[in-house]
Amino acid sequence: MGRLSVNLCGIELDNPVIPASGTFGYGREFAELYDINMLGTFSFKGTTKDPRFGNPTPRIAECAEGMLNAVGLQNPGVDKVISEELPNLKTIFHKPVMANVSGFSVDDYVYTVEKLNHEEQIGWFEINISCPNVHGGGMSFGTDPVQAAAVTEAVRRVTDKPIIIKLSPNVTDITEIAKACEGAGADGISLINTLLGMRIDLKKRRPLLANTTGGLSGPAVFPVAVRMVYQTAKAVKIPVVGMGGVTTAEDVIEMMLAGATAVEVGAANLVDPFACKKIIEELPAVMDRYGIDTLSSIIGGAL
């Protein structure tokens, strides 16, 4: 194991940096810019049972220190992901990849995971029960411990691969939901997804987003994310993947001190396509500055 390496649910990563789902597509565009095999892994675009066009436009709005998005899980559907996206992915990325799965019912999650389970390159499933930008599913599963546990338990029955449940910050007590998922068989928890927000067009006096509300991401949410990672890591015994406003190598170390085993980078990829590359390259120097020999040794160091 190298200085930067970590073990996520039994799978070794060369480093803990993971581009977050929805900000990295299926890797193709980024692979044209640099060798994405330098990443720990990446979480590919949220995949659903059926194709989704997503929400009507406008579905992106800027705000101070972040952005709002209401894309609405646009994706080609699981069959096309298997027939087109994954074969292409194998040619550009030679490590296990994280499959982000979303749905509108427990059966949807089970169907999609069961189909993807046969794909050799998929190392982990990141089960998204926290998307705030879809109706009739998504975040509703992640705000109720009983429903969160039901999805976790159902998915657990159809795969032996590690399942990491992605939780919503739009709740009163994040630990209650994390513990329910752990009890239902989750191998890990990832958080946070976006915070629910909105902007209003002053001239039109109407919401800027066609969906009215959207998910707030970017540096503005980082302190909230660190707090929730810290609380969750104290509450559960399974690994935590931290995300939310991460933009620098220092942010990665802060997340890991709060209890994260690995760290996802989201909105920063939309601002700078080289964001993850730069973070990985800068980590050794930042580690030296703070007297850190190995990243695995600092996980939960602030708990």
The answer to whether residue 131 is catalytic is: yes
Q: Please, are residues 196 and 169 in contact by the beta-carbon 8 Å criterion?
A: no
- Which of 9, 63, 131, 181 is labelled catalytic? 131
Q: Tokens 């509108």 belong to which residue?
A: 104
CA–CA separation, 180 vs 18, rounded Å?
Answer: 25
CA angle, 272 as apex, 86 and 289 as ends, to 5°? 105
Q: Other CB atoms closer than 10 Å to residue 33's CB: what's the count?
A: 10
Q: What residues act catalytically?
A: 131
